[in-house]
Amino acid sequence: MTTEFDITETLDVKGESCPMPVVKTKGAIDDLAVGEVLEVLATDAGSLSDIEGWADGTAGVELLEQVEDGDVYKHYVEKTAE
């Protein structure tokens, strides 16, 4: 079940492998304002655990949802603090 989010920006890291999806997600989140949502599109199955682990260990971000859509993994990350 996919929840609709007000997506501020989409980051396409399809074809990238660990650690690049997390590295690029961090960079994109740093450029957002508090309350904005980043959609990350990845093809690396490892991004599911990698982005979840990064979000869990990072202050100021919240992983809202992860969705598998065929061969694309969609991650929704909200910036919650500076």
Would residue 74 count as lying in a domain? yes
Distance CA 78, CA 81 (A): 9
Would residue 12 count as lying in a domain? no
Distance CA 55, CA 81 (A): 13
Q: How does pLDDT run across 7-58, given as a tens digit for each residue?
A: 999 999 999 998 999 999 999 999 999 999 999 999 999 999 999 999 999 9
- Structure tokens given for 46: 């490892």
Would residue 32 count as lying in a domain? no
Would residue 56 count as lying in a domain? yes
Would residue 34 count as lying in a domain? no
DSSP state of 28: H
Active site residues: 18
Domain carrying residue 78: 41-82
pLDDT surpasses 80 at 2: no
Number of structural domains in the chain? 1
Q: How does pLDDT run across 61-78, given as a tens digit for each residue?
A: 999 999 999 999 999 999
